[in-house]
Amino acid sequence: MSAVPGPRDVVAQAAPAGWPLEGLRRLAGTVSVSLATFMSVLDISIANVSLPTIVGDLGASPTQGTWIITSFGVANAIALPLTGWLVLRLGTVRLFLASVALFTLMSLLCALAPNLEFLVLFRVLQGLFAGPMIPLCQALLLRIYPPRRLGFALSVLAMTTLSAPVVGPLLGGWLSDNWSWHWIFLVNVPVGIVSVLVAWRVFRGLETSMRMARVDGIGLGLLIVWVGSFQLLLDLGRHYDWFASTLIVLLALATLIGLAAFLIWEGTEQQAIVDLSLFNVRNFRIGSWTMACAYALFLGNLVLLPLWLQQYMGYSATLAGFVMAPVGLTALLTAPLAGRAISGSDPRRLVSIAFLVFALASWLRARFSTDTDLVSMMVASLVQGVGNALFFVPLMAIIISCVPADRIASASGISIGLRYIAGAFGTSLMISAWDWRASVHRSRLVEAIFDGNLLWLEYEHTLITAGMTPLQSLANVERTLEQQAHTLAVNDLFEFSALCFVLLLVPLWRANWEKPEKAVEQS
């Protein structure tokens, strides 16, 4: 076993001449990288709320319209782990400029798409070019800033990646309602142009080292098979009643067989397209899996709450976005503080505080009812926002703490890819569990009614007295049943999330930090 360098040793490794940047160049480089990060993360969620408008305008069915979301997610998940290999072939700066420029071009083509087929094609290409952007942004930020400002560099990344998922649905809904769905893609064009021009000016002549790397065609093919199949399984499962569908069973088999073959091949291939040896680094392995599990819960909750508000509480898309706004706003305000805290604190303590704060926010939401007011809901979002920055910045510091500087782009691509896959899994699982728990609660509520529950009988009598016919009162009771059942189901899932966040403290403290020089590479 060989000793792994500590966090400060890794970041302090010799960088190409010209790094880190100083003065206005550092500021300009930070702005360029932040714009690219925000734009990439924003596009993951901005189209969700606009989907009904898009399919209506293009004359497609809602089921066909889901491919607008799925196509981007599948392509993005496949491209993310390839970042390290692409950096070796093209260099960090060249790959960043190409990715942002082509992503911007695809955004323009998405806005100009004449039909659903072309829109899905351009979304696939957009997702492919978006894949390397966030790992590259992280790698560039860690070169832009000196080692002593590691915390601040990560906090800049956190402010953009944590606020974009909250801003996306709100901005997408507003643009679709007040302008047209085309603007959810056109908004990327000026941002992308500015990012490319500034980056070209700032990073010109600062390219990282490159070498010719053989294309691992078999590894790439297996990656496409298992990641693509898994993403399709998650996106289509709810629409096809999961494993009652032959299609979903086939996708599950393709995922399992493809993943097994991929792990075997990449574990023995000398020039693997995904560097799985990074999982031999203790902090990377523990940090990546902890991040993935926490992100699955985080994103699942982030999707579940607006759905409940819009479908069963009568909230508009804009008002539901307003409830979630404190999550991103608080993260923006607290991320710089978290970055400073890393310099003098054990990041495991900060992440522990974040998990406990998330558990508190989930516990508060588990007490929601159909009578909960707007202020109470926003308080829970405010609490969650405080935990966001403490969660992301310190945990990313743990993940890259023992990774050599020349492998950070690859490590970022793998950890972020794992996080995205976990987020998709968490979202699908959360929504499916919501439907399941709602059906359980509905059955219990129906049993209570037919057992002659006096409250329900009085309620039905009140409706008839108010002038409703028996049929109308029955329909009203049905709506109330659905609302109460889904509210109780939401309570169950938030309680479960609170428990999971507390349990994540166990693997977190298996990571090394106080004496990183004692960390070892081990399976």
pLDDT given for residue 181 in this prediction = 85
* CA dist., res. 374 & res. 81, Å (int): 41
Compute the average pLDDT of residues 442-465.
70
Residue 77 has pLDDT above 80, yes or no: no
Higher pLDDT among residues 261 and 404, named by residue: 261
Is the domain spanning 17-208 CATH 3.30.565.10? The answer is no
- Contact at 8 Å (CB) between 2 and 520? yes
pLDDT 10s digits, 218-258: 888 888 888 888 877 877 777 787 888 888 999 999 999 99
pLDDT 10s digits, 321-336: 778 778 777 777 776 6
Please indicate whether the domains covering 17-208 and 276-523 agree at the CATH topology level.
Answer: yes
pLDDT given for residue 487 in this prediction = 94
pLDDT given for residue 202 in this prediction = 86
Q: Which of 358, 340, 259 is nearest to 301 (CA)?
A: 358
* CA dist., res. 254 & res. 259, Å (int): 8
- Alpha-helix residue ranges (DSSP H) falling in 46-132: 51-58, 62-79, 83-90, 92-112, 116-130
Compute the average pLDDT of residues 408-433.
80
CA-to-CA dists, residue 305 to 374, 427, 490, angstroms: 13, 11, 8
pLDDT given for residue 288 in this prediction = 92
Q: Which of 251, 240, 133, 252 is nearest to 192 (CA)?
A: 133
* CA dist., res. 202 & res. 514, Å (int): 36
- Reading the block at residue 32, the tokens are 């360029």
pLDDT given for residue 252 in this prediction = 92
Length of the chain measured in residues: 523
Amino acid, single-letter form, for residue 171: L
- Local confidence band at 495 (pLDDT 50, 70, 90 cut-offs): very high
* CA dist., res. 323 & res. 305, Å (int): 9
Amino acid, single-letter form, for residue 358: F
Percent of the chain with pLDDT over 70: 82
pLDDT 10s digits, 345-394: 788 888 999 999 999 999 999 999 888 888 888 899 888 888 877 787 78
Q: Find which of 72-86, 165-179, 279-293, 390-404 is predicted with most confidence, using mean pLDDT.
A: 279-293
CATH topology of domain 276-523: Growth Hormone; Chain: A; (1.20.1250)
Contacts of 456 (CB under 8 A, 6+ apart): 448, 449, 477
pLDDT given for residue 172 in this prediction = 76
pLDDT given for residue 516 in this prediction = 41
Give residue limits of the domains in the chain: 17-208, 220-272, 276-523
Percent of the chain with pLDDT over 90: 21
Catalogue the E-assigned strands of 343-496: none
* CA dist., res. 176 & res. 110, Å (int): 15
Contacts of 34 (CB under 8 A, 6+ apart): 137, 156, 157, 159, 160
Neighbours of 59 (CB within 10 A): 9
Average pLDDT over the chain, rounded to whole? 80
pLDDT given for residue 523 in this prediction = 36
DSSP secondary-structure letter at 2? -
Q: What is the largest CA-CA distance in the chain?
A: 83
- Local confidence band at 514 (pLDDT 50, 70, 90 cut-offs): low
Q: What angle do CA 200, 202, 203 make, to 5 degrees?
A: 70
Considering the entire predicted model, what is its pTM?
0.77
The sign of the torsion formed by the CA atoms of 355, 358, 360, 366 equals negative
- Reading the block at residue 469, the tokens are 């016919």
Query: Range with the lowest mean pLDDT among 186-190, 197-201, 453-457?
Result: 453-457
* CA dist., res. 300 & res. 160, Å (int): 19
